[in-house]
Amino acid sequence: MNSAGANGPTVTLRRRPPTGGESEGAVVGSLVLDRFLIERRIGSGGFGTVYEAWDGRLERPVAVKAIDSGGSGGCDRVLREAQAAARLNHPGIVTLYEMGEEDGSALLVTELVDGETLDRRGRAGDLSDREIGEIGADLCEALDHAHSRSVVHRDIKPQNVLVAENGDGVRAKLMDFGVARLTDGAALTAPGDVVGTLAYMAPEQAEGRADVGPEADVYSLALMLYECWTGENPHRRATPAATARAIGDRVRPLRRARPDLPRELTETVDACLQPRPARRPALEVLGESIEDSLELLADAPSGYGHPHAARLAVAATAVVLGVWLAAGHGVGLP
């Protein structure tokens, strides 16, 4: 089973000074593909290392992802990502500029996004319900573009979403199409192979089905938004094996976890988490539900983006209730 694990790698494409113990990497200072000057290492994950570089020809900063192409798996992933990204041209998707190979590493050159991953922003707890909705709306548009060009991402998760600030709020960009499926081309994975990240995987994807379609992206996006609005991923367990067993289990409805959110929105997200792909609403329905709810969502940091915030809120409520009862207040029974 080929999988990125329960949590998956995190790559952040944001310019920031290196920490004291951070190595700049062996290729810093070198010129790759006779054009891109590697300036510093800015992130790494299970499938490669990302560097900030300077495009000497067009005089612009870029990101260079270096992937060891020694094995066939690495080559397939690079080819898949390049083929998928080459079809796409959308402001909500990180743009691919060039692909090449040098010194045993496959290189993907993309735009450099000055932002942080949704994973980091969520853990900081500074995203409001409305900003989470705006991110969801951006991703619906980006995925609609990808699906219209026969590309299924198959790895929607907070680590693959970049969040950048602009004058009107936040904007989201989807990245890493390394496990994408081209629905109109030859399969790059065999039936039974499981690709993606377990904690965000649709049930049919976890079964290793070869015909995984856009419905899997709808499920993963809804699950990610559920996590952002509640602070908990309902699938994640202590081990990858336990997480895999939890995929497809009944999820506590978002309507119950966050009754303060608009009913239409929570009901749509809950419907997108149906185990059977045919029962899920289309991506367009999810996008419209989010757009219709934006003005009703709170625009102050809610704290729900922080892991375990929902548990803490429940615990605080229990403490208050206990104090109230201890003060001599009773609960009347008929």
**Residues marked as catalytic:** 155
Contact predicate 151/88, CB 8 Å = yes
Q: Which helix or strand (DSSP H or E) is residue 216 part of?
A: helix 214-230
CB atoms within 10 A of CB 80: 21
Q: What are phi and psi of 119, to 5 degrees?
A: -60, -45
The angle subtended at Cα 316 by Cα 313 and Cα 319, nearest 5°, is 155
d(CA 270, CA 285): 12
Q: Which two tokens stand for residue 154?
A: 């198959």
Strands 96-102 and 60-68: unpaired
Alpha-carbon 278 to chain mean position: 23
Q: Which amino acid is at 73?
A: G
